[in-house]
Amino acid sequence: MMNTMIPEPTRNYLCLLACSATIMALALGCSANLDEYSEEVEESGTPDTVERRLLSEFEGSFPEKASPNGEMVDFEFAAIPAAVELFPETKTKVWAYDGRVPGPTLRIHLGQTLRLKFTNSLPQPTTIHWHGVRVPHAMDGVPGVTQSPIEPGDSFVYEFTPKDPGTYWFHPHVRGAEQLERGLYGALIVEDAKPDPYSRDLVWILDDWRLMEDAQIYDKFVTGGDISHDGRWGNVPTVNGRVQPTIAVKPGERIRLRLINSANARIFRPDFSALKATGIAYDGMTASRPFDPTGYDLAPGNRLDLDITIPDAPQEDTFQIVDRFTRQSFMLAEITIEDTDPILPERFDIPAAARVPVWAKVMDIPVDSKMVLNARRGGQYGIEWLINGLPWTEHESLRLKHRSMHRLQFVNQSYRLHPMHIHGMFFKVITRNGTLVDEPHWRDTVLVYPQETIDVGVVPLDKGKWLTHCHIQEHAEAGMKTLVEVE
């Protein structure tokens, strides 16, 4: 049933796709105001001065400290084995937060403190990591670095006040290749203290499952094939734990749609076709200007927030959201417009006031931290994925100075995809293969294409030992992890 509906991508054309996607990404990035900055770069003085200018450009981008308003929002759930209907009337055995896939959406407002009493009712240890949230170090959910794994039957209380509003998500950081694939993930939405009056605020968590004919999870994890390629790509993509769901909306509605990629490895590139979709945030953080989301990749870990206005006198009543990352496109979900009177939401400007430096002059300061991405034979799985020549078991931490300007470089020497994620900080992409790009937003995860070099600018505001790793779960499992120590 499922196999006829959604084609399984073959490994050969994935490689081809990766190359053409690089060209697209490069073509997308260029921007007029970079030229002005380039002129300034030529006139600029010592590196010291450049660094100071870069820092002043950064100032006010996001806060250093949380501002708790004294309100505590309590949640309580367990991670438990459960069965869910990915397909109608077919039960798939999963592991799930609160027995649901996705887990419960945790919604709080900026200033509120989240407190979760979490119980592990799984047959193996686990933790929860809050992807993208600048949490206190002890709340980051990294086993052996920020906390001990939570043993089966034990509980742990996560408590923090987010510093930045936006779209985040949570997932285990123990045996991620198995635990995420089995269904452990959920959304954390931190609303602005006064959210914009969208008629609807939707969260779509995209996932990709490798299921067998009987709709059960193929339970061999971290296979040689997964490791030597781009991780575990499945045959059944889902939106909010459903295969090709239909979402009914009203004419005239203005929707904030928050997309999250929770897949182990699959990259999504959603196409909203005739629906006018405007990008307003990426990886949680509001952009400095609205952007065209066409061609934007959502690698594992990435989020993309869209502002979508449903036509009030639609010509058609059905819109298909199609994924175009793989050569063979497929439908992710369908939006249908109800045959009712249009609703007229309150008018307001597209949210886009965030301060995001252009930072073109980052290229004037030397690279002070590098992550060379490659593999070697050996280790538990026969292949080890490496950062700077070392797997996690032998890793050497990178060091960044608190509140200082850094130019960090990812060098992908391999022929595979690596969505690189750094905990505890946001960074901005400055160049891809030496070509300036001006993304109007921060990131916590960037997809580094085969043989690509990406320079990013970062000013770490949160001290601690932060994990950095490839978000393809199988690559991380096979060693592609290290620590960034901010002191």
Main-chain dihedrals φ then ψ at residue 137, nearest 5 degrees: -50, -45
Asked whether position 418 contacts Cu ion by CB under 5 A, the answer is yes
Span near Cu ion by CB under 5 A; candidates 94-102, 191-199, 401-409, 413-421:
413-421
Nearer to Cu ion, 99 or 419 (CB): 419
Query: Which region, judged by CB under 5 A, interacts with Cu ion, from 31-39, 255-263, 357-365, 416-424?
Result: 416-424
Q: How far apart are CA 280 and CA 304, in angstroms?
A: 8
d(CA 484, CA 254): 40
Give whichever of 114 and 446 is closer to Cu ion, judged by the CB atom: 446
Q: How remote is the C-alpha of 26 from its chain's centroid?
A: 20
Binding status of residue 421 toward Cu ion by CB under 5 A:
no
The residue among 127 and 414 lying less far from Cu ion, judged by its C-beta, is: 414
Tell me the C-alpha distance between 94 and 101, whole Å: 8
The distance of closest approach from Cβ of residue 475 to Cu ion in the complex, given in angstroms and rounded to an integer, is: 3
Q: Which stretch binds Cu ion (CB under 5 A): 62-70, 134-142, 167-175, 415-423?
A: 415-423
What burial letters (b/e) apply to 67-94, b meaning 16+ CB within 10 Å? eeeeeeeeeebebbebebebbeebebeb
Task: Give how far the C-alpha of residue 366 lies from the chain's centroid of Cα atoms, to the nearest Å.
Answer: 28
256 touches Cu ion (CB under 5 A):
no
Residues 456-475 that bind Cu ion (CB under 5 A): 470, 472, 475
Q: What DSSP assignment string belongs to 78-134?
A: EEEEEEEEEETTEEEEEEEETTBSS-PPEEEETT-EEEEEEEE-SSS-B--EEET--
Q: Which is nearer to Cu ion, 158 or 410 (CB)?
A: 410
Please say which residue, 95 or 449, places its beta carbon nearer to Cu ion: 449
**Selected range binding Cu ion among 59-67, 200-208, 414-422, 427-435, rule: CB under 5 A:** 414-422
The reply on whether position 303 binds Cu ion by CB under 5 A is: no
| Pair of tokens at residue 17 | 């796709």
Shortest Å, Cβ 178 to Cu ion: 17
Q: Are 137 and 465 in contact (CB under 8 A)?
A: yes
The amino acid sitting at 249 is V
In whole angstroms, the minimum distance from the beta carbon of 84 to Cu ion comes to 28
Shortest separation between residue 420's beta carbon and Cu ion, angstroms? 8
Residue 414 CB, nearest approach to Cu ion (Å): 8
CB of 3 to Cu ion, least distance (A): 27
The residues that touch Cu ion, with contacts defined as CB under 5 A, are 418, 470, 472, 475
